[in-house]
Homo-oligomer: A and B are copies of this chain.
Amino acid sequence: MSVVLSRDSQVRVMEDTVTNAEKHLGQFCSMLAAYTRKTAQVRDKADRLVRQLTDFANTEHPEMRATLRSFAEDLAKVQDYRQAEVERLETKVISPLKLYGAHIKQTRAEIKKLKQVQKNEIKQLAKLGRLRQKSPSDRLTISQAETSVQRASADASHTTHQLGETIEAFQKRKLTDLQKIFSDFVTIEMVLHAKAVEVYSSAFQTLENYDPERDLEDFRAKMHGLYGHRDAQPLTETISSPAVPWSLTGQETVLILALF
């Protein structure tokens, strides 16, 4: 009877193995999918920042414009790498974890089949036991029942052995797949981070090299120079001259009214 118990324990180990894998790999799948989605959202927010930097650059003086455009381009490059990160996480991390759903379902079906075979063995054993108690002298029927037990037992032994190999292969695949999936995760992340360091190093240089002085000259000229006056002189110097009698043209009146 200890062999039946042993087989029962084996089945429980098998079931636990599959249930545990189903639970944890499913959780890894949804957590890594959530991580990837949030990463895609970081990319979206950075893309908006890129557009905003470009818009702002167009309103700025030449040096800052060039600096902001260069910075925006670098920031956009990092987002391209982030997009590649997201796609690779989906392909090499999330998809393989999703595939476990089908794989686990199939293994569960095989375990169910083994349990049926085991049930049959126990049923035949119980039948033989009852026969031996009720009709110990019915040699023919007992002999037939013994043959059925042998057949059911050989079947159970064979199926258990087969399933043992299946579960071992399942466990082996799980371990090597997890190793591969997490290695891929780390590689994908490393590529992003390494590329980002490279791009941001160049962006940092561009920003460091920016000198506001030329833009400020440009700004001063714009602020003071629209009518050719670098500095506005007191108005009285003009109007106190008797040679220029004070009068308002129509256009100037409109302007003044608009200012009140």
Residues of chain A touching chain B, judged by Cβ–Cβ distance below 8 Å, are 1-10, 13-14, 17, 20, 24, 27-28, 31-32, 34-35, 38-39, 41-42, 44-46, 48-49, 52, 55-56, 59, 64, 67, 71, 78, 115, 118-119, 121-123, 125-126, 128-129, 132-133, 146, 149-150, 153-154, 156-157, 160-161, 164, 167-168, 171-172, 175-176, 178-179, 182-183, 186-187, 189-190, 192-194, 196-197, 200-201, 203-204, 207-208, 210, 212, 215-216, 219-220, 222-224, 226-227, 229, 231-236, 238-240, 245-248, 252, 255-256, 259-260
Total identical chains:
2
Is there contact, CB below 8 Å, between B41 and A38?
yes
Q: A196-B189, A212-B176 are in contact. Are A220 and B168 (CB under 8 A)?
A: yes
Name the distance in Å between A166's Cβ and chain B's nearest Cβ: 11
The 9 tightest CB contacts between A and B, nearest first, are A153-B235, A175-B212, A150-B236, A193-B196, A35-B45, A193-B193, A6-B227, A38-B42, A24-B56
Nearest B-chain residue to A209, judged by Cβ: B179
Among A20, A78, A194, the one with the most B-chain Cβ atoms within 10 Å of its Cβ is A194
Is there contact, CB below 8 Å, between B4 and A31?
no
Inter-chain CA distance A26–B212, complex, in Å, is: 21
Nearest B-chain residue to A24, judged by Cβ: B56
Inter-chain CA distance A226–B12, complex, in Å, is: 11
Inter-chain CA distance A138–B154, complex, in Å, is: 133
Q: A190-B200, A259-B119 are in contact. Are A210 and B3 (CB under 8 A)?
A: no
Residues on the B chain within 8 Å of A216, using CB: 168, 171-172, 175
Nearest B-chain residue to A37, judged by Cβ: B45
Is there contact, CB below 8 Å, between B3 and A232?
yes
Residues on the B chain within 8 Å of A156, using CB: 235
Name the distance in Å between A245's Cβ and chain B's nearest Cβ: 7
Inter-chain CA distance A156–B2, complex, in Å, is: 107
Inter-chain CA distance A44–B175, complex, in Å, is: 26
Is there contact, CB below 8 Å, between A31 and B45?
yes
